[in-house]
A and B are shown apart, each in its own frame.
Chain A
């Protein structure tokens, strides 16, 4: 097996008495597309937020590209620069145009020259098929377009891993496809991705591996075809039947 770029070992996270993650372990190798499925409240989103240090965890260990994730240490900022995150509700900055949304972090975090940031933003907008929307504010874009801008914004920091937290759940059905296509293109380009989604078609077509989570643990994991067509665990079976 190739060298993992990300490893999660025995991750535990609790809110008071409630344990959201009860010992989650897995690894992701370079260029892998890992799809995580499971019911709401199974801890998928919390898991993603722990990976780039947006949330504290109670026990366990996460290592990204050789850096241990610890929200209380300054090194967490290095992790965040290596890990891009896509949110369910896009979370664009509403006072900035699409291009400005993309330019901000390269310009103010990496300190790159304005012209370079501008060019990088335009190239990324073209890549996600939104070149003509560069000067539009998020409020003027559809959900699918906003999510593609958000993907371009994360890519502008040239991350080694991209996390997707239900990227299409808040979208109108007719714009889901354009976002999934953008993600598929990204996977094809060799990006390492962890995708939390209910889009099982995407999981089957683009994913290299699927993990099914329930009650804060990984119940079952394996190749998409195996998990989706021949789930071994009754809970996985029940979930897949409900979603399909």
Chain B
């Protein structure tokens, strides 16, 4: 199994470890609930070195990115970050990624660990003259700092520089190493993701640990679920298009040369199934795979589910036919041998997130 450069630090903190996409990662340290609350109320740090970090350079890099994503990449300014998706020829989602324009002709892609090799293969196969693809996963690392206290936690790292605006990146320096500070995350709170050379990670982690709680993948999952953020392999698959996943907003419909345009338009007009938020109205915990009953029939299935630690009840996401997807629709989730009452709800389930807070 792969280990991140911070593995020894996790062992020192007595982390409970788990296998995630072939990486031996912290599931939790003190406990998922406490870590979840630390992020909602203070600040937490996550080792995200397992995620894929790929770089595209060259004047045709922008064309390559627009050939495989439905976004307008050329409108992204230097220092901007964009959430988008790599699509297959049917419009199915190969991966959901964040593209950051670092320089005029230099782009950074943060991709899911489970899809790193697939994305790398797509990029390499389609790279023409004037585009260079570099896998930076193993010579750089990634640490997320998330929670309302993030600006104080990273103040020393930023020095005199400004805290980045939402979906923007700024450059900082840590002990002589360059650090990209991106205002991105997966928790619904104000926060950043730090990208740095491997050599800088240990001291960066120790510095952050003085002011923030270490958090594992358990809290990462309960936090993202409360916001209704999708997770690849659960809400998003190669058989799902962005509009069917309720993420049609990532598509720039004005683009003439959209990849898989016909399939995307078709799912926009009449999606067969749509991804819906589900909140139990009785005590219980829905899980992936639980059938969803409406009007006496199974109409859908849970894609994800867990206890909402901050919302105080069972929540999740489910695929439902369009006619049953309106917020307020009464459903029942089958959990083992029981059917528990639930209701369709438009995420986020947790409405007090600080993710877009303006930081001066």
Asked if A and B are interacting partners, one says: no
Binding site for B on A (CB under 8 A): none
